[in-house]
Copies of this chain bind each other. A is one copy, B any other.
Amino acid sequence: MGASEITRRGLMLVLSSPSGAGKTTITREILTRDDALSLSVSATTRPMRPGETDGVDYRFVTADDFARMDKAGEFLEHAKVFGHLYGTPRAPVERALAQGHDVVFDIDWQGTQQLRHAARDDLVSVFILPPSTDELRRRLHTRAQDSDAVVAQRMAKAADELSHWAEYDYIVVNRDFDESVLAVMAILAAERLKRERQIGLADFVAALREES
């Protein structure tokens, strides 16, 4: 026996997609299925929408709070979208990774680019594509609380977001919700098995060799 223990470094899983491609629903589902995964809750200066909860969907802060947090280096990344600021608080992410847990980020291409520079080896990025334009348009229109102007603005943002697909490690076309969830779960499972993410392998193998 005597083989020593193998632990693992946490990873940062980024899911990006144009709004309406199903990213947020997929993110929620994988969080319920995987105990070693937690969500990075972004801070934002945008107003809370009906149905949202402070500290769950976002941490809603004032522009002054946001500026103070930014100045104190509390953000891993931040970006401005439609005039509102969004940022990823650093502390909860670093705490989770140090404990060997993984963190999932529901952020756009701007945030992903900044995370990529901040944490190259720990980052696993997945881009979710809608199966068709019709489907994308249908999903954007079913958010009843949004005005036509907001939908138009969001279609423009979707086209902008789509232009960054080639910066991601994995591409999932969301044709079927269950299949897409399984695809993201498989990516997570595989990335955890990467040699460089497992700590203690050299000692484990050395113990096997000495005793054999």
A193 to B179, CA, bound (A): 12
Instruction: Give A140-158 as 1s and 0s: 1 = Cβ < 8 Å from B's Cβ atoms.
Output: 0000000000000001001
Chain B residues in 8 Å Cβ range of A6: 173
Contacts A162-B209, A212-B158, A212-B159 given: A1-B133 contact, CB under 8 Å?
Answer: yes
Q: Does A132 contact B (CB under 8 A)?
A: yes
A residues contacting the other copy or chain, number (CB 8 A): 48
Distance (whole angstroms) from the CB of A27 to the closest CB of chain B: 17
Q: Does A187 contact B (CB under 8 A)?
A: yes
Chain B residues in 8 Å Cβ range of A211: 133
Q: Does A136 contact B (CB under 8 A)?
A: yes
Chain B residues in 8 Å Cβ range of A119: none
The residue in chain B whose Cβ has the minimal distance to the Cβ of A183 is B193
Q: Does A134 contact B (CB under 8 A)?
A: yes
A187 to B130, CA, bound (A): 24
A131 to B158, CA, bound (A): 48
Contact of A194 among B2, B132, B170 (CB under 8 A): B170
Contacts A189-B186, A193-B172, A198-B171 given: A165-B205 contact, CB under 8 Å?
Answer: yes
The residue in chain B whose Cβ has the minimal distance to the Cβ of A191 is B190
Contact of A3 among B131, B168, B170 (CB under 8 A): B131
